[in-house]
Amino acid sequence: MEHIEARKDLKNRKRIVIKIGSSSLTHPQTGHLDLIKIEVLVREISDLLNRGKEVILVSSGAIMVGSRLIGFHHKPGKLALKQACASIGQAKLMMIYQKLFNEYNQTASQILLTNYTLGSEPSCSNARNTLEELLKLKVVPIVNENDTVATEEIEVGDNDTLSAAVARLVGADLLILLSDIDGLFTNDPNIDPDARFIGYVEQLDDRFFGMAKNTSSSGVGTGGMSTKLGAARSCMEHGCDMIIANGRDFHIIHELINGEDKGTLFKGGNAK
């Protein structure tokens, strides 16, 4: 019963951070952007704004988009080349986001962050003030790691952790992580047919981290279940709900907000 009520209460969330993984933005066959899906994403976010919500989008994909634009079929291994691809791909992503949001009479902005920015109090305060002002202006901030100048994020980082940091920074009510997985399982469902789906987590303790597999089934993104649980712990400690759900169909955004029983809901305020 508590699970059902917690789902129904999601409609009251005011400030929402949505994180989109690289695999959810692209065609699996080619790695190129899935423009139809991205248009659905923009429409879903625009409708949330029309409902009086505040939305921040944390979008992956810059390196992969850039690598495809210059003819690579896979993400390059060389760090400097990854950063070059990020520079190319980020510009392309923002061009598409700006164009599509404009069609729905919405304005989008770009925010590029690094671990250094979020770890330094003056920089952190400046980032918070900028995000707060953008939300007051009814603008959709589109956040990504600044891969063109940072190296730590490319080598070991991920946007699951970044999105949790952003949610914490702005005092968000809800973080939605959309990736290539349905949610949390007792084991990796790709290798264990008996893996059981877990739809609701009220107390997040170490046994859940034991279930996590630090892999991404698509091979496109960098964040596995371990990083997602780390993001959940961070959110829950700060009273923010978090959902892990599958981004194969972005219509799931309004379904989650409307309280449908999809993905794994981590109830804020209950981390250990």
Residue 210: give the domain boundaries: 2-57+124-138+151-266
**CATH number of the domain enclosing 232:** 3.40.1160.10
Element at 58 (helix H, strand E)? strand 54-59
Integer angstrom CA distances of residue 115 from 67, 69, 86, 144, 171: 24, 27, 17, 11, 18
Q: Assess if residue 86 is contained within a domain.
A: no
Structural domain includes residue 272 = no
The tens digit of pLDDT for each residue in 177-211 reads 998 889 999 888 878 888 899 999 998 887 887 77
pLDDT tens-digit map of 212-228: 654 444 444 445 788 89
Residue 57 is inside which H or E element, if any? strand 54-59
* Within-domain flag for 224: yes
Asked if the structure places residue 108 within a domain, the reply is: no
* Total number of domains constituting the chain: 1
Per-residue pLDDT of the chain (272 residues; tens, 9 = 90+): 578 899 999 999 999 999 998 889 999 888 899 999 999 999 999 999 999 999 999 998 899 899 999 988 877 888 889 899 999 999 999 999 999 999 999 999 999 998 777 877 888 999 999 999 999 999 999 999 886 666 555 443 578 999 999 999 999 999 999 988 899 998 888 788 888 999 999 988 878 877 765 444 444 444 578 889 999 999 999 999 999 999 999 999 999 999 999 999 999 875 44
CA 199 to each of CA 196, 247, 252, 260, 262: distance values in angstroms, whole numbers, following the listed order: 10, 16, 15, 11, 7
Residue 87 forms part of a structural domain: no
Q: Write out the DSSP string of 95-140.
A: HHHHHHHHHTT--EEEEEE-HHHHHSHHHHHHHHHHHHHHHHTT-E
Tell me, yes or no, whether 252 lies in a domain: yes
Please report whether residue 205 resides in a domain: yes
